A and B are shown apart, each in its own frame.
Chain A
Amino acid sequence: MKKNENGGWSPYLAGALAGLVGVFSVWFAGQYFGASTSFVRTAGMIEQLFGPERVAGMEYFIKVAPTIDWQWMFVMGIFFGSFISAVTSGSFKFQAVPDMWARRFGARSVGRRALVAFVGGAVAMFGARLADG
């Protein structure tokens, strides 16, 4: 196996294999890859804890029911799959601030990173849902 300077596989090979996993998923389970719908389901499940009647009456949560489905487990799987790959290859690393961010804003800017990541996440998800991505 040809290794990159960072110990990873060629992105062409890993990407092509990931595409193959996608094809088999469509074949065997009839499921196309996606992730952002699971965040809607999670938001709905959390909101249900506080106001189940309100959630039950909301148009978007009727369209995207707050339940655990194929895709929700798929996103969980991404977490564990990445964990297994990282641990077994020695590339697992607890990091509060990415390298590129640390070079620009300093390694101790954890609070600023948290704020920007939270806002970025909220904006990205709104856009992804709007475009149905």
Chain B
Amino acid sequence: MNMLIYGLITGLLFGFLLQKGRVLLYDKQLGALRLKDMTIVKFMLSSVIVGMVGVYLLNDLGLAKLSIKATILGPVIIGGLVFGIGWGLLGYCPGTSAGALGEGRWDAIWGILGMIFGAGIFAEAYPMLKSTVYTWGDYGKITLPQVLGVNHWFVIPVFVAAAVVLFLWFEKKAL
């Protein structure tokens, strides 16, 4: 029960900030995909940078565990491409569709229904995919610092610096 309340409160805060950042709009999501408006990229990358530093700090202090997903090239590459096609058509991603509906953009309902339908189709296809696509290029649960053989605090500043350079370029180009 406690976890459900934690989930609701966390979602409330996140949804509030998504709306404040104006990243729930179809126009903003399509704007990013059309390389015309980088608002959602600014939001996401800022979030990733803070999250990366914060979560690795917690991890080093023994206060949290990393949640590393397996790197399997087949499903990640094909799934990413398929997701991109769907995202471009819908103009909302799974999380932002709920937020878009919250701010009154009710075309998100069609997307939410489609996503529930797509999830059902995926569940049907899973046994077949598991014995095929999921066996292509399985590298297990790896991280970049692990692959490079360096401490994560050498990798993190590089990512932060790259994000800052990208942000400066966005502002210069007024994207």
Contact = CB atoms under 8 A, between A and B. Distances in A.
B7 A78 contact: no
Contacts of A116: 89-90
Given A23-B55, A131-B75, A31 B7 contact: yes
B86 A100 contact: no
Interface string B103-128: 11111101111111111111111110
A43 B23 contact: no
B70 interface: yes
Interface in A58-106: 58-61, 63, 68-86, 89, 91-101
A33 B14 contact: yes
Interface string A17-52: 111111101111111111110111011101100000
Nearest to A125: B118
Contact of A95 (B47, B89, B107): B107
B11 A80 contact: yes
Contacts of B93: 35, 124, 128
B105 A130 contact: no
B114 A121 contact: yes
Contacts of B54: 19-20, 22-23, 26
Contact of B15 (A20, A29, A47, A82): A82
Contact of B7 (A73, A96, A121): A73
B85 interface: yes
B14 A121 contact: no
B115 to A, nearest CB: 4
Interface of B: 3-27, 30-31, 39-40, 42-51, 54-55, 58, 63-65, 67, 69-70, 75-76, 78-91, 93-108, 110-127, 129-130, 133, 167
The 4 closest A-B pairs by CB, nearest first: A77-B11, A121-B114, A81-B15, A124-B86
Given A78-B102, A80-B11, 12 more contacts: A14-B21, A31-B3, A39-B119, A40-B123, A76-B11, A85-B103, A95-B104, A120-B111, A121-B112, A122-B114, A123-B114, A125-B122
